[in-house]
Amino acid sequence: MGSGILIRGMVQAYRQALQNASKTGVAKETLQNAVRKTMTEQEARQILGVNEQSSWEEIAKKYNTLFERNATSGSFYLQSKVHRAKECLETIHQKDQPGGPVG
């Protein structure tokens, strides 16, 4: 019985903390910071299994393979990581190449 009261008290405290955070904007700020977190080029290359010398065509091929594999029998989380990796490298290739990536 005592543990039930303790658990209910913890749940109520958690709910109150969430309400307070939303009123002060802390929850929104935390969410915005999480969204802003960017992937590094090194991490993107590791996810897609490519290196600095890889052509855009090779990067796109690896992306397509990994994205489709995770779409059918993988996880949405991994699929999202693969997509973010491609976006990261696409940005880098656009800066390095006058015409940017194709495809």
Q: Are residues 30 and 56 in the same domain?
A: no
Domain residue limits at 68: 41-96
Q: What is the pLDDT of residues 32-44, one digit of tens each?
A: 555 556 789 999 9
> DSSP secondary-structure letter at 98?
S
Is 46 in the same domain as 31? no
Together in a domain, 91 and 45: yes
The reply to whether 26 and 58 lie within a common domain is no
Mean pLDDT for 64-84 is 89
Q: pTM of the entire structure? A: 0.58
Q: Tell me: do 53 and 80 sit in the same domain.
A: yes
28 and 49, same domain (yes or no): no
Name, of 14-23, 27-36, 88-97, the range with top average pLDDT.
88-97
Tell me how far apart the alpha carbons of residues 85 and 18 are, in angstroms, rounded to a whole number: 32
DSSP string spanning 25-87?
Answer: THHHHHHHHHHHPPPPHHHHHHHHT--TT--HHHHHHHHHHHHHHHHHHS-HHHHHHHHHHHH
Mean pLDDT of the chain: 78
Please count the structural domains in the chain.
Answer: 2
State the average pLDDT over residues 22-47: 70
Same domain? For 46 and 92 the reply is yes
